[in-house]
Structures are given as structure tokens and as C-alpha cells.
Copies of this chain bind each other. A is one copy, B any other.
Amino acid sequence: MVAVKDAQHSKQQILAAAFRVIHQKGFNRASVKEILADTGLTKGAFYHHFASKEAMGKAILDEIEGAIGSVWLEPIEALDDPITGIQEAMRAYAGSLSAEEVALGCPLNKLALELAPTDDFFRVRIKQIYDGWRSALADALRRGQRAGTVSQMIDPMGAATFFVAAQTGGRGLAKNAHNADILSVCADHLVRYLDTLRP
């Protein structure tokens, strides 16, 4: 009855455990050994699926990219009134995080801060993700401009950039304070900021 060897399952298990440990300790302090301890697998399995710890980190980035897509981008994908959509996503997000998730902070920001100065590959990959996020937001705002729900005066990309920055910063502040209220406050302010983008 021992679970048969299932490559995909093992790889996903490792990825999930790695995400958890890295989210908590950061990439460098997350030891391969500890990651594997959560899975019951051994180093042989790890290095069968990933060429190196770094390669696994890249795979995790892919997952994070997907998560950002489903939380922030899909909900507003085809909206004529993107501002309301983003506001709702923001509120849903700020309200959905458990105390633990608040204390852990944004995984992408964590990796960005830790790895950007050291490893250029990671930096560029993370930049891609952030750029994708900002672009999708800007696209939505442009759609709104065409639909008349967003002011013609504003610069979509600039506004999107500011939103991503402020959102990320708010979550970082809340994390360090172990305080979800900070997140709420920032969310409120961002919602109000978004209102100023209406015509």
C-alpha cells in the first residue's frame, strides 16, 4: 500500500514543501534537508527532479507567478470597470489572509529582496513577474479608459506600478508588525487612491 513511485506527485510534494520553508526562512536558510524532511523523500529524489537547489527556486517562481495571476489578474481580466474590480480584489485579499499569512508576508517580495543583489537570473525572472503584473493592471486600466470608467488623464502604467509597490509595501509592513490592521489601513488608502483614477 505504500504509495507507488509517482514522479509528478513527488515533484509537487517537494515544490510545496520548498515553498513553505522558503516562505518562512528565505531561500538561503531553507536547507534542502529541511525541505525534504517534510516530504519523507530523500536527497536522491530531490536531485533527481532538480538539477540544483537554484533550479528548484526557479520552479517555485513559476508557481508564484501563477498564484499572482489567479488572485490579482484573472478577476479583472475582462472587466469594463477595472477600478471597481481591483478594489474588490484588494479588499478580498486583505480580508482573506490569516494571521499566519500576514506574519509570513509576500513570498515574491521576500525572494526579490533576498536574491536580487546576489543572483541576476533570479532578479530578472522576478522582474518578469512584477512586469507581468504591472502590465496586466495597466492593460485593464486602458480598457477602462476606452470604456469611460477610468480617467483619460492618468498614466495607466504609472498607476499600476504605484499600486503594486504600495500593496507590496503594505504587506511587508504588516508582516513585520504582526499586525493585519496595517494591511487594512493600506488597503483602504489604496482603494481611495483608486477612486481618484475615475473620470
A residues neighboring B (CB under 8 Å): 24-26, 28-29, 103-105, 109-110, 112-114, 116-118, 123, 126-127, 130-131, 158-159, 161-162, 164-170, 172-173, 175-178, 182, 185-186, 188-190, 193, 196
Contact = CB atoms under 8 A, between A and B. Distances in A.
Contacts of A116: 103, 105, 175-176
B26 A177 contact: no
Integer count of this chain's copies in the complex: 4
A interface, over-half SS: helix
Contacts of A159: 189
Nearest to A164: B173
Contacts of A173: 130, 161, 164-165, 168
A162 B118 CA distance: 29
A165 B182 contact: yes
Contacts of A114: 26, 110, 113-114
